[in-house]
């Protein structure tokens, strides 16, 4: 081996080690993920005994941060879906008709989702719940 190549390689090795170490330590903060519950929730609500059937379709996303939180939400998705279906089925026609009422429903859905996931995981996971689309008839 030529002596100048050995010198050049010896000079580059410390920079290669620093670059590798720097890449591992500069991972950055965890990314925010909006996990969509798929397929959308579809069901009946306000069964008041009348002839008219009331139907909803809710496309819901959960805001979580980090891969661990995404994995927890995926794992508990059946529990979350069941909770939300029960909540929607209990709503009245008035609770699904106005923008303010839908926002109150969103807040209640968030609160209940956070409570059930916190009970299962022992720590906060879901930061927010969003209605990407909420259709009621």
pLDDT of residue 50: 64
Q: How confident is the model at residue 35 (pLDDT cuts 50, 70, 90)?
A: very high
Q: Which residue has the tokens 């620093």?
A: 18
Q: Does the pLDDT at position 26 exceed 90?
A: no
pLDDT, tens digit, 9 for 90 and up, residues 45-64: 876 666 677 899 999 999 99
Average the pLDDT over 94-105 and give the result: 88
Among 106, 8, 14, residue whose Cα is nearest residue 58:
106
Which residues on adjacent β-strands are paired with residue 59? 133
Q: Does the pLDDT at position 111 exceed 80?
A: yes
pLDDT of residue 51: 67
Q: Which residue has the tokens 């890449």?
A: 23
The whole-angstrom distance between residue 11's C-alpha and the CA centroid of its chain comes to 48
Query: β-pairing, 32-36 with 55-65?
Result: antiparallel
Helix (H, G, I), strand (E, B) or coil at 28: coil
Q: How confident is the model at residue 95 (pLDDT cuts 50, 70, 90)?
A: confident
Rounded Cα distance, 115 and 4, in Å = 66
Average the pLDDT over 2-25 and give the result: 49
């Amino acid at each position: 081996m030529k002596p100048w190549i050995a010198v050049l390689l010896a000079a580059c090795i410390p920079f290669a080690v620093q670059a590798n170490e720097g890449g591992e330590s500069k991972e950055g903060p965890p990314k925010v993920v909006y996990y969509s519950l798929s397929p959308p929730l579809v069901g009946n609500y306000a069964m008041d005994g009348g002839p008219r059937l009331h139907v909803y379709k809710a496309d819901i996303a959960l805001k979580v941060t980090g891969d661990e939180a995404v994995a927890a939400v995926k794992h508990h998705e059946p529990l979350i879906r069941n909770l939300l279906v029960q909540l929607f089925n209990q709503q009245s026609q008035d609770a699904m008709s106005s923008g303010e009422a839908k926002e109150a429903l969103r807040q209640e859905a968030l609160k209940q989702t956070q409570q059930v996931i916190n009970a299962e995981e022992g720590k906060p996971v879901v930061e927010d719940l969003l209605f990407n689309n909420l259709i009621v008839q």
